[in-house]
Amino acid sequence: MARAAARQVTGAPTPDDAARTIPADADARREIRNWYAHLMGERRVSEATLINYHRDLTRFFEFLVGHLGAPADLKALAGLELRDFRAFVSHRRADGLTSRSVARMLSSLRSFFGFLDRTGIVANATLKALRSPKLPHGIPKPLTVTGTATLLEGARAAEIAPWKAARDVAVLTLLYGCGLRISEALGLARKDAPLKEVLRITGKGGKERLVPVLPAARQAVETYLALCPHALTPEDPLFVGTRGGRLDQRQVRQTMIDLRRGLNLPETASPHALRHSFATHLLAGGGDLRAIQELLGHASLSTTQVYTEVDPARLLEIYDKATRRR
């Protein structure tokens, strides 16, 4: 069976490494590799999702070694019953997993077993009968407009190499000014700059969207490139680390941690919070919910509607305008 070539994803293991580190028999490891390559090549899931899926499947097969008395093979996977999956959930609960983590873990397993079923390798629909835990309704926690400005100014004044400070400002400005996911910003190539007024972004599931780029974001990228000491080719990543390799998500997260502590910003100030801030500030400024959905790349409007709960006053205003038009 032909498999799509997997793209290189910084920080996530390769399909070969992913399969090699999981305790399973040779045939099961082969299918783990094929599934992982499918996630990277055909579904083009994010780096964070790949890492989580690999971690969840590793924990599952580690559990099966003790549960079954030996590394699992394909026959063992086909014979797993509801009580086996429930035992794994209980095992992970005992490790301190939250309901949200358990739900993600089950999603990882459903992806793997669904792949085995679609490719005719293993048919086991047991997981469909196992309900995911109910999750508490979460509301995004954006920064205020003032808090965002403070963050960007703090990044600009950071006591690090000037080119690194300019790089951090450019990355954070793209997250906030364009509503990008961190993987989308760090996935840009040198050939994408100088940035045009509209940026074509490939998001989750390979879905493309067009995102307007503010002059401040274009200028931030230009400032960074003018100071960057590395000679980047068009195919090189736009944002690089000390040695010229692609800037890692963990470095950006650590930068946010350092900034929020130094600037006394809330613990919820993360790279993804800047994307939340983008959406919330647009909505508060009169932005159309459908337009914001397209800018964020949400498949469903219900995903975007959660931002109306961040600013109840704005929601009431939208409702009032809608009723007056009737």
Q: How many other CB atoms are found less than 10 A from the CB of residue 20?
A: 12
Which is catalytic among the residues 53, 176, 224, 307?
Answer: 307
**Is 181 an annotated catalytic residue?**
yes
Q: Could you give the C-alpha distances from 211 to 129, 190, 217, in angstroms and in order?
A: 40, 18, 12
Q: Is 201 helix (H, G, I), strand (E, B) or coil?
A: strand
Which is catalytic among the residues 29, 275, 276, 281?
Answer: 275
**Is 3 an annotated catalytic residue?**
no
Interatomic CA distance for residues 104 and 124, integer angstroms: 19
Name the helix (H) or strand (E) containing 280.
helix 271-284
**Is 137 an annotated catalytic residue?**
no
**Is 307 an annotated catalytic residue?**
yes
Which is catalytic among the residues 181, 246, 260, 276?
Answer: 181
**Is 20 an annotated catalytic residue?**
no
Which is catalytic among the residues 30, 93, 156, 272?
Answer: 272
* Residues 60, 62, 64, 67, CA torsion sign: negative
Say how many CA atoms lie within 13 Å of 295 toward its Cβ.
25
Which is catalytic among the residues 110, 156, 204, 314?
Answer: 204
Which is catalytic among the residues 38, 92, 218, 298?
Answer: 298
Could you tell me how far CA 169 lies from the centroid of its own chain? Answer: 20
**Is 326 an annotated catalytic residue?**
no
Q: Could you give the C-alpha distances from 172 to 14, 127, 167, 168, 271, in angstroms and in order?
A: 28, 40, 9, 6, 7
* Residues known to be catalytic: 181, 204, 272, 275, 298, 307
